[in-house]
């Protein structure tokens, strides 16, 4: 089981959030104090944040409109980018993570930060561009600059491996809630493991864009 792996050039644990993790493990209930970013996180899975370098492979994937997307070029977008892995028949958190993108975009828009989203399917043989399109329109509102990607399974595996997100048992139900943020082209990636609110995610992106940490 590949858990919490990553090229850990710099590891930044959030004090409060990791404390919450400990809280979970010891099995207590009740409040563990006010969350770092203003929410009252009473019970939640721990979130881990690391900064790492990933080499995006040269692969061509298809988006929800059947357009060819050269992933390495697309992720070198001058705007900040966010990458997630998902699949359309996922039962737990994929819908919730996708629903979050629109509000993240809105919050960043208020701070004048443009962003592009890339959701890459880990079930590419089932998730045809048509299914990706149907999935994306289920989210209301549909965020702008959102590419949902599919492609040959070997290419998808290559992308997952490059982000240290590959689950070698090929069991898609074991996929982890990972979010990758890159503030500027050529910079390192911020890797977030775990579920977080849209406000917390938007804050993370803002911090990444405004700080020089990932240069």
The mark string for 61-90 relative to another protein (x by CB under 8 A, - otherwise) is: --------------------------x-xx
Contacts of 130 (CB under 8 A, 6+ apart): none
CB atoms within 10 A of CB 202: 24
Q: Closer to another protein by CB, 28 or 185: give it.
A: 28
The reply on whether position 110 binds another protein by CB under 8 A is no
Q: Closer to another protein by CB, 170 or 211: give it.
A: 170
**CB 138, min distance to another protein, A:** 6
Q: Which of residues 151-210 bind another protein (CB under 8 A)?
A: 152-153, 169-177, 195-200
Stretch that binds another protein, among 53-61, 98-106, 111-119, 182-190 (CB under 8 A): 98-106
Q: Closer to another protein by CB, 76 or 153: give it.
A: 153
What are the CA-CA distances from residue 122 to residues 14, 21, 51, 125, 148 (Å)?
28, 27, 23, 9, 11
The mark string for 24-63 relative to another protein (x by CB under 8 A, - otherwise) is: xx-x-x---------x-xxxxxx-----------------
**CB 91, min distance to another protein, A:** 4
Stretch that binds another protein, among 53-61, 63-71, 73-81, 132-140 (CB under 8 A): 132-140
Stretch that binds another protein, among 50-58, 64-72, 125-133, 181-189 (CB under 8 A): 125-133
Torsions phi, psi of 109, nearest 5?
A: -60, -35
**CB 88, min distance to another protein, A:** 9
For another protein, the binding residues (CB under 8 A) are: 1, 3-4, 21, 24-25, 27, 29, 39, 41-46, 87, 89-93, 95-96, 99-100, 103, 123-126, 128, 138-140, 152-153, 169-177, 195-200
């Amino acid at each position: 089981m590949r858990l919490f792996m990553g090229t850990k050039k710099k590891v930044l644990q959030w004090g409060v959030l990791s404390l919450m993790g400990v809280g979970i493990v010891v099995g207590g209930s009740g409040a563990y104090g006010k969350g770092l970013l203003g929410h009252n996180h009473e019970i939640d899975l721990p979130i881990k944040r690391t900064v790492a370098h990933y080499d995006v492979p040269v692969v061509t994937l298809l988006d929800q409109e059947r357009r060819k997307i050269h992933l390495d070029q697309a992720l070198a977008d001058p705007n900040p980018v966010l990458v997630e892995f998902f699949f359309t028949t996922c039962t737990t958190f994929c819908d919730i993570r996708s629903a979050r993108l629109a509000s993240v975009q809105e919050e960043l828009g208020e701070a004048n930060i443009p962003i592009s989203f890339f959701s890459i399917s880990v079930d590419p043989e089932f998730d045809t561009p048509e299914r990706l399109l149907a999935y994306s329109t289920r989210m209301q509102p549909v965020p702008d600059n959102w590419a949902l990607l599919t492609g040959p399974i070997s290419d998808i595996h290559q992308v997952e491996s490059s982000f240290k997100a590959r689950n070698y048992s090929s069991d898609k139900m074991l996929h982890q809630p990972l979010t990758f943020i890159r503030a500027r082209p050529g910079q390192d990636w911020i890797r977030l493991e775990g579920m977080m609110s849209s406000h917390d995610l938007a804050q993370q992106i803002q911090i990444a864009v405004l700080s020089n940490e990932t240069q």
